[in-house]
């Protein structure tokens, strides 16, 4: 009989636990207050794009407590790491937790944000043994070989996320390839899902587990899901987002078939399908996506060659296009294009700083700031720029602004060699303390 680790604390988040066989692999952990090693618990493994394992664990621990899930967040997996290295860390993480915690092997789930979503999917696709994935703000990784493992997939993406088109294409591909799937779009940008959206995903996974006989039938959960999606459908209809309402209804019918009566949803879906609003929105969706792609390509082409004045005009034009859009979908598309410009700002600024091209770095940072003034990454990179210029006071001011905008990567702040010379500065340490207080998804 396997003996599990009785020293792990229940009902309290542990930010850093080292794997027994590889101390370099650490993870954040939350065990429900009523966890017992006498029975297996379902588990969600989180992968963040920036190795912030505690962030999703802290954000969603109340949901885990409510529904009885173990949460594990990798503190090592992050963007820019080769898959072989990432997967070795994943295997160490899963091996360590399954040796210390009574985890139900049939109810292992993965979840991730951005590049972390690709990791979460990679684990499910390549390694198998994963019942379902909640992928946020990015789709599947590029994989050349045929999929050998299928799993339930719940995607979450913001209406203003530059990766929305990718997530929509993935949802269509999953349908064609026989996956159990659902895409939830919400009023957000590129980030971890809100607590409410993540809970919707977890409810969806649990209802699928009932249909797959991995979880006991629970009519209360079914009713909670109905109420949740009924509210989302009604909200979409109220503002004329007909394609969103259609997709939510179709997904609800797919999920609830076999768990309850779906006749009212079928009737509602038929009404939407026959409406002029839906037909018009559906016909416009493909041209809008093509227009979005064309604009992204043009922005990428122009970014390194146009000056600050030109970009000020372009950004003003995109804002006006969004304000005067005729439909919600058109408005959202223009906002996504503007957010994509923010992504380009980050990529070009970061590359310029890494190659010590300070002249272009400053120009790129100015464009980044105009395009996405509330993005903490712009302030962070500005702080790196000021450190390279030898202006420590300006760097700390930029870092303070960065934290005011929600930055919470404490480990990154402490480890970044750009700031090594100000570790003893009171202002820098105040920034670190404030950053630690941002460790919550709102």
- Cα–Cα distance list, 90 to 22, 59, 123, 148, 399 (Å): 11, 21, 8, 19, 32
Residues 420/432, Cβ–Cβ less than 8 Å: no
State yes or no: pLDDT of 356 exceeds 70.
yes
Name the band, by pLDDT with cuts 50, 70 and 90, for residue 262: very high
Give the SS3 label for residue 259.
coil
> What are the residue boundaries of the structural domains of the chain, listed by start?
14-216, 285-436
pLDDT in tens, 370-429: 999 999 999 999 999 999 999 999 999 999 999 999 898 888 899 899 999 999 999 999
Whether the model clears a pTM of 0.85, i.e. scores above it, the answer is yes
**pLDDT at position 399:** 97
**pLDDT at position 3:** 86
Residues 44/109, Cβ–Cβ less than 8 Å: yes
Q: Which helix (H) or strand (E) holds 318?
A: helix 308-323
Stretch 5-25: mean pLDDT, rounded?
A: 91
**pLDDT at position 442:** 43
Number of H helices, E strands in the chain: 16, 8
Stretch 44-60: mean pLDDT, rounded?
A: 93
State yes or no: pLDDT of 146 exceeds 70.
no
CATH code for the structural domain at 14-216:
3.40.50.1820
pLDDT in tens, 164-187: 999 999 999 999 988 999 999 988
Q: Are strands 70-74 and 41-47 parallel, antiparallel or unpaired?
A: parallel
pLDDT in tens, 379-392: 999 999 999 999 99
State yes or no: pLDDT of 209 exceeds 70.
yes
How many percent of the chain have pLDDT more than 90? 82
Name the band, by pLDDT with cuts 50, 70 and 90, for residue 126: confident
> What value does the mean pLDDT of the chain take?
93
Q: Chain-centre distance of CA 2, in angstroms?
A: 35
């Amino acid at each position: 009989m396997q003996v599990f680790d009785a020293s792990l604390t229940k009902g309290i988040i542990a930010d850093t636990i080292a794997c027994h066989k590889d101390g370099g692999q650490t993870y954040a952990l939350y065990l429900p207050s009523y966890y017992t090693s006498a029975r297996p618990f379902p588990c969600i493994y989180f992968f963040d794009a920036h190795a912030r394992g505690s962030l999703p664990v802290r954000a969603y621990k109340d949901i885990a407590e409510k529904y009885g899930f173990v949460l594990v967040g990798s503190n090592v997996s992050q963007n820019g790491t080769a898959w072989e290295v990432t997967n070795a860390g994943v295997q160490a993480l899963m091996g360590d937790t399954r040796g210390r915690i009574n985890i139900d092997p049939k109810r292992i789930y993965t979840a991730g944000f951005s590049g972390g979503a690709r990791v979460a999917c990679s684990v499910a696709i390549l390694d198998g043994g994963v019942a379902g994935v909640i992928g946020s703000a990015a789709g599947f990784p590029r994989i050349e070989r045929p999929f050998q493992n299928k799993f339930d997939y719940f995607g979450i993406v913001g209406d203003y996320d530059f990766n929305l088109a990718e997530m929509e294409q993935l949802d269509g591909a999953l349908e064609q390839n026989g996956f159990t799937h659902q895409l939830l779009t919400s009023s957000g940008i590129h980030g971890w899902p809100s607590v409410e959206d993540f809970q919707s995903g977890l409810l969806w996974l649990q209802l699928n587990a009932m249909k797959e006989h991995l979880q006991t039938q629970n009519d209360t959960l079914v009713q909670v899901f109905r109420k949740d999606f009924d509210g989302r459908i009604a909200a979409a209809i109220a503002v004329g987002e007909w394609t969103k309402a259609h997709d939510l209804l179709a997904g609800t019918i797919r999920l609830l078939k076999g768990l309850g009566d779906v006749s009212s949803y079928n009737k509602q879906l038929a009404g939407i399908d026959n409406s002029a609003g839906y037909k018009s929105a559906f016909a416009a969706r493909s041209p809008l996506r093509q227009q979005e792609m064309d604009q992204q390509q043009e922005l990428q082409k122009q970014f390194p060659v146009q000056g600050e004045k030109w970009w000020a005009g372009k950004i003003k034009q995109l804002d006006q296009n969004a304000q005067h859009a005729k439909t919600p979908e058109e408005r959202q598309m223009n906002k996504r294009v503007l957010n994509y410009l923010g992504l380009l700002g980050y990529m070009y600024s970061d590359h310029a700083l890494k190659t010590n091209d300070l002249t272009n770095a400053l120009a790129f940072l100015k464009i980044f700031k105009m395009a996405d003034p509330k993005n903490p990454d712009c302030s962070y990179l500005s702080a790196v720029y000021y450190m390279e210029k030898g202006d420590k006071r300006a760097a700390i001011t930029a870092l303070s602004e960065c934290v005011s905008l929600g930055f919470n990567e404490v480990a990154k702040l402490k480890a970044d060699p750009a700031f090594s010379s100000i570790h003893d500065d009171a202002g820098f340490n105040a920034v670190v303390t404030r950053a630690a207080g941002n460790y919550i998804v709102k």
